[in-house]
Amino acid sequence: MEKNYQHIGKFFLLNFVLISFLLAANTNAQEEKILARVGDKTISLDEFIRRAEYTVRPAYCKNNFNIDKKIILNSLIAEKLLAIEAGGNNTFISKAEVQAYLQGRKEQLMRLYLYNDEVRSKIKLDTNKINTAFKYAGREYQISYVSLQDSLIAKQLEEEIIEKKIPFEKTLHENYNLQEIPEKKVEWSKLEHPLVLDSLFSKDHKKGDVIGPLKIEDNHYMFIKINSWKNTPAITAKQIENRYNSVHNTYEESEAFRGYVEYVKEIMNGKSLDFNKEVFFELADIFGPEYMNSRKTQEEAFEEGVWDYKKEEMEFRNTKPRLDEIRNEKLFTFDNHDWTVEEFLREIKKHPLVFREKKFPQNKFGDQLQLAILDMIRDECLTKEAYAKGYDDVPGVVRDNQMWKDNLNSLYEKYRILKEAGKDSLFASNYQEVIKSTLNPYVDSLQYKYSDKIFINTDLFNNIKLTKIDLSVTYANSPFSQVVPNFPLVTTDNKLDYGSAVKSVP
């Protein structure tokens, strides 16, 4: 790999760019309603709805009729029963890789709770600002723009274009030899930097207006010229409501992001990360061809729940000899602690690297790896803060962690059963037939075996309303993108003819 890494060295973490930002699920503290108990395990109403709505359901229960709800509940109860049968400390769930996976998921959710409590809950929106933006949010601007990474040039341009009123194009063509000035359309509904939206939609701009310099981030400035605009008014009550909500939500996310940046700056203030260039170059050369494929394989293995069955290892097997040569070498120093390659490899098992750019040429891998490590370290500091504030004991975090553990355990047990029955390979191509012939009878036997330990709040169950829209909800730019496990493909049973119906689950 070409070693085109121009910026390896020391980073002061007060100012590094924060791209990886968790888009929050609802983590507001609410009284938990228990829908069902299966032995010492429970299924909350919220868990039922999320498992039914946040991932794609199979064809046999994808509608919103009562029969579909019964299949969903039976599937979730069956998942708990299979997890009980697998045991809480079996050889699969005890694997270091699986424990790291579960710990990583837990810590990701802890950071989300921390963010919601320390940042999002403290947002105060300016109603006047929202109303002003709403007034102009129907506009579609055609703009010319220039981006700069030099504050002195930005200041000089400000003098020439803004203060002396020298024409935008003339200044850039003649004084800065810019042959072609970029153009684009900007609408409120499209993804743009908050400062760009704020500058364009906060007043009644005219054709020819020049805006700038906008300080997008440290050492990144922008000037905008408005070439033209057209307006699409909101007329109907629904259009007005949708537009207002769009403006409100955009400002809310913008303020949340701004608050998050400030909070992280406070946590990271004074800390620095210093890369060991030679070892970093070697690691980048090793990881470049391997890491993305290895991560994809890792995620697929866990999602399928066949980690132990396939006897996969979370190792870069093709590059292990080269990694072994540098395992004990220092990769970087952070906050006076030397991180070896071995320590880094352990960390990415519970915090897979998240690359800020999803597609980039091979010779840019080192730059992207560098940024991904910075983001990993930032998350490590936020995780420590979350532990210090006790978020590992928050009921929502505990329940989510148990849900994932039960899911993995049930998948392990399911594939053990299928392998014994000689149906493991058939399941991938014809899972409904395998459920019907093999898993349904087995789940029925577990329902009978544990019937006296199963309690269902039927009143709560009967009041559940589901949609029939296929959704797959994910976290953006996060180590673990799935919000909930895949729907458990274990039974098509549509009868609740076991357990006890109760008004309140014990």
DSSP assignment of 208-241 equals: T-EEEEEEEETTEEEEEEEEEEEE----SHHHHH
Let me know whether 423 and 488 are in one domain.
Answer: yes
Across the chain, mean pLDDT equals 87
Let me know whether 386 and 404 are in one domain.
Answer: no
Q: Has residue 69 been placed in a domain?
A: yes
Average pLDDT rounded to a whole number, residues 472-501 = 92
Range of the domain at 69: 34-92+395-502
Average pLDDT rounded to a whole number, residues 270-278 = 94
Let me know whether 180 and 156 are in one domain.
Answer: yes
What's the pLDDT score for residue 311? 37
> Mind listing the pLDDT tens digit for each residue in 156-165?
999 999 999 9
How far, rounded to the nearest angstrom, does the alpha carbon of residue 8 sit from its chain's CA centroid?
27
Let me know whether 381 and 432 are in one domain.
Answer: no
Let me know whether 423 and 474 are in one domain.
Answer: yes
Cis bond leading into 321, ω under 30°?
Answer: no
Let me know whether 408 and 486 are in one domain.
Answer: yes
Contact 215, 150 (CB under 8 A): no
pTM: 0.84
Query: With 80 as the cut, is the pLDDT of residue 293 above it?
Result: no
> Mind listing the pLDDT tens digit for each residue in 220-237?
899 999 999 999 999 999
Compare 445 and 308 and report the one with higher pLDDT: 445
Let me know whether 487 and 384 are in one domain.
Answer: no
Let me know whether 283 and 352 are in one domain.
Answer: yes
Q: Considering only CA atoms, which of 369, 357, 295, 383 is closest in space to residue 332?
A: 369
Domain final position from 361, 391, 421: 391
Average pLDDT rounded to a whole number, residues 435-462 = 97
Per-residue confidence band for 13, with pLDDT thresholds at 50, 70 and 90: very low
Of 43-47, 58-62, 186-190, the least confident = 186-190
Let me know whether 115 and 16 are in one domain.
Answer: yes
Query: With 60 as the cut, is the pLDDT of residue 359 above it?
Result: yes
Q: Has residue 246 been placed in a domain?
A: no
Query: With 70 as the cut, is the pLDDT of residue 282 above it?
Result: yes
Let me know whether 227 and 322 are in one domain.
Answer: no
What's the pLDDT score for residue 2? 45
What's the pLDDT score for residue 318? 61
What's the pLDDT score for residue 28? 57
Alpha-carbon distance 91 to 17, whole Å?
41
Of 44-58, 222-236, 303-317, 408-422, the least confident = 303-317
> Mind listing the pLDDT tens digit for each residue in 404-415?
999 999 999 999
Domain final position from 359, 391, 423: 391
What's the pLDDT score for residue 297? 56
Per-residue confidence band for 14, with pLDDT thresholds at 50, 70 and 90: very low
Per-residue confidence band for 439, with pLDDT thresholds at 50, 70 and 90: very high
Average pLDDT rounded to a whole number, residues 372-401 = 97
Q: For the stretch 320-341, what's the b/e string if a residue is b when 16 or more beta carbons lie within 10 angstroms of its beta carbon?
A: eeebeebeebbbbebeeeebbb
Q: Has residue 226 been placed in a domain?
A: yes
Query: With 60 as the cut, is the pLDDT of residue 420 above it?
Result: yes
Per-residue confidence band for 190, with pLDDT thresholds at 50, 70 and 90: confident
Per-residue confidence band for 23, with pLDDT thresholds at 50, 70 and 90: very low
Let me know whether 217 and 158 are in one domain.
Answer: yes
Let me know whether 204 and 317 are in one domain.
Answer: no
Q: Has residue 259 been placed in a domain?
A: no
Which residue type is seen at 427?
F
Domain final position from 185, 215, 232: 232
Compare 52 and 23 and report the one with higher pLDDT: 52
Q: Has residue 4 been placed in a domain?
A: no
What's the pLDDT score for residue 468? 75
What's the pLDDT score for residue 229? 96
The tally of domains found in the chain comes to 3
Q: Has residue 251 been placed in a domain?
A: no
Per-residue confidence band for 417, with pLDDT thresholds at 50, 70 and 90: very high
Contacts of 119 (CB under 8 A, 6+ apart): 256, 259, 260, 263
Q: Has residue 101 been placed in a domain?
A: yes
Of 242-251, 364-373, 452-461, 469-478, the least confident = 469-478
What percentage of the chain reaches a pLDDT higher than 70? 88
Q: What is the DSSP letter of 22?
A: P
Q: Has residue 494 been placed in a domain?
A: yes
